[in-house]
Amino acid sequence: MFSLIGTLFVGLIVGLLARALKPGDDKLGWIMTAVLGVAGSFVATAVGNWLGWYRPGQAAGWIASVLGAITLLVIYGLIKKKD
């Protein structure tokens, strides 16, 4: 249970950092910001494993997680712009 709460807390911090670093107005609430951070960490870990930067089971660091979340924000902005 504490692992899940810790993951969501770290995701919230990563999501807030990504939203602060990416210019523009991203209308996301607290929950979606935490989900964005967790998803950004997952993307960074998956890409890092695919490129051989991380060993199996090793998670991405803070910087890579924030970059993954920024990437997801950019993709979200491109998709939202088409609608």
Write a three-state SS string for 13-74. HHHHHHHHHCCCCCCCCHHHHHHHHHHHHHHHHHHHHHHCCCCCCCCCCHHHHHHHHHHHHH
Lowest mean pLDDT among 26-30, 47-51, 53-57, 58-62: 26-30
Q: How many domains does the chain have?
A: 1
Instruction: Determine the pLDDT at residue 31.
Output: 84
* Enclosing domain of residue 29: 2-82
Distance in angstroms (rounded) separating the CA atoms of residues 5 and 75: 27
Residue 67 reports pLDDT greater than 80: yes
pTM across the whole model: 0.82
Mean pLDDT confidence for 33-37: 85
Instruction: Determine the pLDDT at residue 83.
Output: 64
Greater model confidence, 1 or 56 = 56
